[in-house]
Amino acid sequence: MSAAQVDVLVVGGGMVGVCMALAAARVGCSVALLELRPPQA
């Protein structure tokens, strides 16, 4: 297992999680977005 350092960790890739990740990235933060399940087609 490796470690990563990010400014913002968003847990959950639903609508709010993705919006928060995008907003943080747009202001210059490094972001990690964690989602439990793979996306559904």
Alpha-carbon gap, residue 10 to 20, rounded angstroms: 7
Q: How far is CA 22 from CA 1, 2, 3, 34, 39, in A?
A: 26, 24, 22, 13, 17
The pLDDT tens digits for 15-41 are 999 999 999 999 999 999 999 887 777
Alpha-carbon gap, residue 23 to 7, rounded angstroms: 12
Confidence check: pLDDT of 7 > 90: yes
User: pLDDT tier at 5 (50, 70, 90 boundaries)?
Assistant: very high
Task: Please report, for the chain, the start and end positions of each structural domain, with discontinuous segments joined by +.
Answer: 1-41
Q: What is the pLDDT of residue 1?
A: 65
The answer to whether the beta carbons of residues 4 and 32 sit under 8 Å apart is: yes
Alpha-carbon gap, residue 35 to 41, rounded angstroms: 15
